[in-house]
Amino acid sequence: MSDSQPAASTAHEGGFRPDLAISTKRGGPHYADFNEEVRTLMDKVRYACPSDELALDAIATLRDLNAKLDEYLVDEWTTPAGTRVDLPARGNITLPPYEISAAGPDGVVATVWFRPYHLGGNGVAHGGQVAVAFDDLGGMASAVAVNGVCRTAFLKVNYRSLTPLNTPLQMRTRVDRRDGRKMFVAGTLHDGDRLCADIESLFIELKPGQA
Protein backbone atom coordinates (compact mmCIF):
# COMPACT_ATOMS: atom_id res chain seq x y z
CA MET A 1 0.00 0.00 0.00
CA SER A 2 1.27 3.48 -0.81
CA ASP A 3 2.01 5.51 2.28
CA SER A 4 -0.26 8.34 1.17
CA GLN A 5 -3.25 6.22 0.12
CA PRO A 6 -6.15 5.71 2.51
CA ALA A 7 -6.03 2.43 4.44
CA ALA A 8 -8.04 -0.33 2.78
CA SER A 9 -11.59 -0.77 4.04
CA THR A 10 -12.19 -4.00 5.92
CA ALA A 11 -15.00 -6.13 7.28
CA HIS A 12 -14.81 -3.78 10.25
CA GLU A 13 -15.80 -0.77 8.13
CA GLY A 14 -17.86 1.49 10.34
CA GLY A 15 -16.15 0.09 13.42
CA PHE A 16 -12.76 0.61 14.95
CA ARG A 17 -10.30 -0.86 12.44
CA PRO A 18 -8.06 -3.39 14.14
CA ASP A 19 -5.71 -3.65 11.15
CA LEU A 20 -4.15 -0.20 11.03
CA ALA A 21 -1.21 -0.40 8.67
CA ILE A 22 2.00 0.16 10.56
CA SER A 23 4.55 2.15 8.63
CA THR A 24 7.86 3.76 9.41
CA LYS A 25 7.78 5.63 6.09
CA ARG A 26 4.61 7.73 6.27
CA GLY A 27 5.29 11.42 6.57
CA GLY A 28 8.74 10.96 5.05
CA PRO A 29 12.25 10.87 6.50
CA HIS A 30 11.87 14.18 8.32
CA TYR A 31 8.59 13.43 10.08
CA ALA A 32 10.45 12.86 13.38
CA ASP A 33 12.01 16.34 13.16
CA PHE A 34 8.62 17.80 12.18
CA ASN A 35 7.11 16.20 15.30
CA GLU A 36 9.94 17.45 17.50
CA GLU A 37 9.64 21.03 16.25
CA VAL A 38 5.88 20.99 16.96
CA ARG A 39 6.51 19.70 20.48
CA THR A 40 9.17 22.38 20.95
CA LEU A 41 6.68 24.99 19.75
CA MET A 42 4.20 23.79 22.36
CA ASP A 43 6.94 23.98 25.03
CA LYS A 44 7.66 27.58 24.05
CA VAL A 45 4.01 28.59 23.83
CA ARG A 46 3.39 27.18 27.32
CA TYR A 47 5.93 29.61 28.79
CA ALA A 48 6.09 32.48 26.29
CA CYS A 49 4.75 35.94 27.07
CA PRO A 50 5.13 37.46 23.57
CA SER A 51 5.14 41.12 22.69
CA ASP A 52 2.13 42.06 20.56
CA GLU A 53 4.48 42.42 17.63
CA LEU A 54 5.76 38.89 18.08
CA ALA A 55 2.22 37.54 18.60
CA LEU A 56 1.11 39.08 15.28
CA ASP A 57 4.22 37.72 13.57
CA ALA A 58 3.58 34.24 15.02
CA ILE A 59 -0.11 34.35 13.99
CA ALA A 60 0.84 35.17 10.40
CA THR A 61 3.49 32.42 10.29
CA LEU A 62 1.16 29.82 11.82
CA ARG A 63 -1.72 30.77 9.49
CA ASP A 64 0.61 30.34 6.54
CA LEU A 65 1.79 26.95 7.83
CA ASN A 66 -1.76 25.78 8.62
CA ALA A 67 -2.84 26.67 5.06
CA LYS A 68 0.05 24.58 3.70
CA LEU A 69 -0.84 21.65 5.95
CA ASP A 70 -4.47 21.85 4.72
CA GLU A 71 -3.17 20.54 1.40
CA TYR A 72 -1.85 17.38 3.03
CA LEU A 73 -4.63 16.24 5.37
CA VAL A 74 -5.48 12.51 5.28
CA ASP A 75 -7.88 10.34 7.29
CA GLU A 76 -7.10 9.01 10.76
CA TRP A 77 -6.26 5.54 9.42
CA THR A 78 -3.62 6.97 7.10
CA THR A 79 -1.99 9.73 9.13
CA PRO A 80 1.53 8.97 10.39
CA ALA A 81 0.52 10.28 13.84
CA GLY A 82 -0.23 7.13 15.80
CA THR A 83 1.22 4.62 13.35
CA ARG A 84 4.90 5.62 13.16
CA VAL A 85 6.04 2.93 15.58
CA ASP A 86 9.66 4.03 15.11
CA LEU A 87 8.94 7.36 16.83
CA PRO A 88 8.17 8.31 20.44
CA ALA A 89 4.49 7.64 21.24
CA ARG A 90 4.02 6.28 17.69
CA GLY A 91 4.52 9.80 16.33
CA ASN A 92 1.38 11.05 18.06
CA ILE A 93 2.20 14.51 19.44
CA THR A 94 -0.98 14.57 21.54
CA LEU A 95 0.57 11.88 23.77
CA PRO A 96 3.41 12.40 26.22
CA PRO A 97 6.43 11.00 24.36
CA TYR A 98 7.40 7.48 25.35
CA GLU A 99 9.67 4.72 24.12
CA ILE A 100 8.69 1.11 24.64
CA SER A 101 11.37 -1.30 25.82
CA ALA A 102 9.12 -4.36 26.23
CA ALA A 103 5.61 -5.34 25.13
CA GLY A 104 4.30 -8.88 25.55
CA PRO A 105 2.35 -11.24 27.80
CA ASP A 106 4.01 -9.69 30.86
CA GLY A 107 2.80 -6.24 29.88
CA VAL A 108 4.36 -3.07 28.57
CA VAL A 109 7.44 -1.27 29.89
CA ALA A 110 8.15 2.22 28.61
CA THR A 111 10.24 5.26 29.34
CA VAL A 112 8.00 8.33 29.33
CA TRP A 113 8.87 12.02 29.51
CA PHE A 114 6.67 14.89 30.45
CA ARG A 115 7.80 18.01 28.64
CA PRO A 116 7.50 21.68 29.56
CA TYR A 117 4.10 21.83 27.83
CA HIS A 118 2.80 19.10 30.17
CA LEU A 119 3.15 21.49 33.10
CA GLY A 120 0.40 21.26 35.67
CA GLY A 121 1.61 23.65 38.34
CA ASN A 122 4.66 24.48 40.41
CA GLY A 123 7.03 22.79 37.99
CA VAL A 124 5.50 19.31 37.83
CA ALA A 125 3.33 17.35 35.39
CA HIS A 126 -0.41 17.88 34.98
CA GLY A 127 -2.36 14.92 36.39
CA GLY A 128 -4.44 14.65 33.22
CA GLN A 129 -1.28 14.18 31.19
CA VAL A 130 -0.21 11.36 33.51
CA ALA A 131 -3.64 9.76 32.90
CA VAL A 132 -3.21 10.13 29.11
CA ALA A 133 0.06 8.18 29.27
CA PHE A 134 -1.56 5.46 31.41
CA ASP A 135 -4.58 5.29 29.08
CA ASP A 136 -2.43 4.74 26.02
CA LEU A 137 0.00 2.28 27.58
CA GLY A 138 -2.78 0.49 29.50
CA GLY A 139 -4.64 0.25 26.19
CA MET A 140 -1.51 -1.15 24.63
CA ALA A 141 -1.10 -3.82 27.33
CA SER A 142 -4.70 -4.93 26.77
CA ALA A 143 -4.33 -4.73 22.97
CA VAL A 144 -1.26 -6.97 23.13
CA ALA A 145 -3.13 -9.40 25.41
CA VAL A 146 -6.08 -9.84 23.01
CA ASN A 147 -4.22 -9.04 19.79
CA GLY A 148 -6.97 -6.55 19.02
CA VAL A 149 -8.41 -3.20 19.95
CA CYS A 150 -9.75 -2.34 23.41
CA ARG A 151 -11.46 0.71 24.83
CA THR A 152 -11.14 2.12 28.30
CA ALA A 153 -14.21 1.50 30.48
CA PHE A 154 -12.67 3.09 33.56
CA LEU A 155 -9.28 4.41 34.57
CA LYS A 156 -8.57 5.27 38.20
CA VAL A 157 -5.27 7.07 38.79
CA ASN A 158 -3.79 7.24 42.28
CA TYR A 159 -1.34 10.14 42.40
CA ARG A 160 1.18 9.01 45.01
CA SER A 161 3.84 11.72 44.64
CA LEU A 162 4.72 14.57 42.27
CA THR A 163 5.63 13.68 38.69
CA PRO A 164 8.62 15.69 37.44
CA LEU A 165 8.99 17.24 34.01
CA ASN A 166 11.96 16.63 31.69
CA THR A 167 12.92 13.40 33.46
CA PRO A 168 12.97 9.88 32.05
CA LEU A 169 10.33 7.95 34.00
CA GLN A 170 9.43 4.27 33.97
CA MET A 171 5.83 3.32 33.16
CA ARG A 172 4.68 -0.28 33.42
CA THR A 173 1.23 -1.61 32.52
CA ARG A 174 -0.03 -5.18 32.54
CA VAL A 175 -3.25 -7.16 32.38
CA ASP A 176 -3.68 -8.37 35.94
CA ARG A 177 -6.83 -10.37 35.25
CA ARG A 178 -8.90 -11.24 32.21
CA ASP A 179 -12.59 -12.08 32.31
CA GLY A 180 -13.83 -12.63 28.76
CA ARG A 181 -13.66 -9.27 26.99
CA LYS A 182 -12.79 -7.51 30.25
CA MET A 183 -9.14 -6.73 30.86
CA PHE A 184 -8.30 -5.46 34.33
CA VAL A 185 -5.09 -3.50 33.84
CA ALA A 186 -2.69 -2.38 36.56
CA GLY A 187 0.10 0.09 36.05
CA THR A 188 2.78 2.14 37.77
CA LEU A 189 4.82 5.25 37.05
CA HIS A 190 8.18 5.57 38.77
CA ASP A 191 10.85 8.24 38.99
CA GLY A 192 13.74 5.96 39.86
CA ASP A 193 12.61 4.10 42.98
CA ARG A 194 9.91 6.64 43.81
CA LEU A 195 6.33 5.76 42.92
CA CYS A 196 4.63 8.76 41.25
CA ALA A 197 1.30 7.14 40.37
CA ASP A 198 -0.48 3.84 39.86
CA ILE A 199 -3.72 2.78 38.20
CA GLU A 200 -6.64 0.43 38.47
CA SER A 201 -8.41 0.21 35.13
CA LEU A 202 -10.72 -1.79 32.91
CA PHE A 203 -10.34 -2.13 29.17
CA ILE A 204 -12.97 -3.89 27.06
CA GLU A 205 -12.07 -5.82 23.94
CA LEU A 206 -14.12 -4.48 21.04
CA LYS A 207 -16.34 -6.82 19.07
CA PRO A 208 -15.97 -6.88 15.27
CA GLY A 209 -17.57 -3.75 13.84
CA GLN A 210 -17.79 -2.08 17.24
CA ALA A 211 -16.82 1.58 17.27
Ligand X SMILES: CCCCCCCCCCCCCCCC(=O)SCCNC(=O)CCNC(=O)[C@H](O)C(C)(C)COP(=O)(O)OP(=O)(O)OC[C@H]1O[C@@H](n2cnc3c(N)ncnc32)[C@H](O)[C@@H]1OP(=O)(O)O
User: Which residues form the interface with ligand X (CB under 6 A)?
Assistant: 20, 22, 83, 85, 90, 135-136, 139-140, 143, 151-154, 180-182, 202, 204
We find the least distance from the C-beta atom of residue 100 to ligand X, in angstroms, to be 9
We find the least distance from the C-beta atom of residue 123 to ligand X, in angstroms, to be 28
Which secondary-structure segment (H or E) carries 125?
A: strand 124-125
Buried b / exposed e over 75-102, threshold 16 CB at 10 Å, is: eebbbbbbbbeebbbbbbbebbbbebee
Q: Closer CB to ligand X, residue 70 or residue 179?
A: 179
Q: Closer CB to ligand X, residue 124 or residue 136?
A: 136
Strands (E) across 8-116 are located at 98-104, 107-112
We find the least distance from the C-beta atom of residue 56 to ligand X, in angstroms, to be 38
Q: Closer CB to ligand X, residue 58 or residue 132?
A: 132
We find the least distance from the C-beta atom of residue 205 to ligand X, in angstroms, to be 8
Between CA 108 and CA 114 the distance in angstroms is 18
We find the least distance from the C-beta atom of residue 23 to ligand X, in angstroms, to be 8
Q: Closer CB to ligand X, residue 31 or residue 165?
A: 31
Evaluate whether 175 touches 140 at the Cβ level (below 8 Å).
no
Between CA 129 and CA 95 the distance in angstroms is 8
For the chain, give the number of residues. 211
- Residue number with the smallest Cβ distance to ligand X: 139
* Amino acid code (one letter) for 9: S
Q: Closer CB to ligand X, residue 159 or residue 184?
A: 184
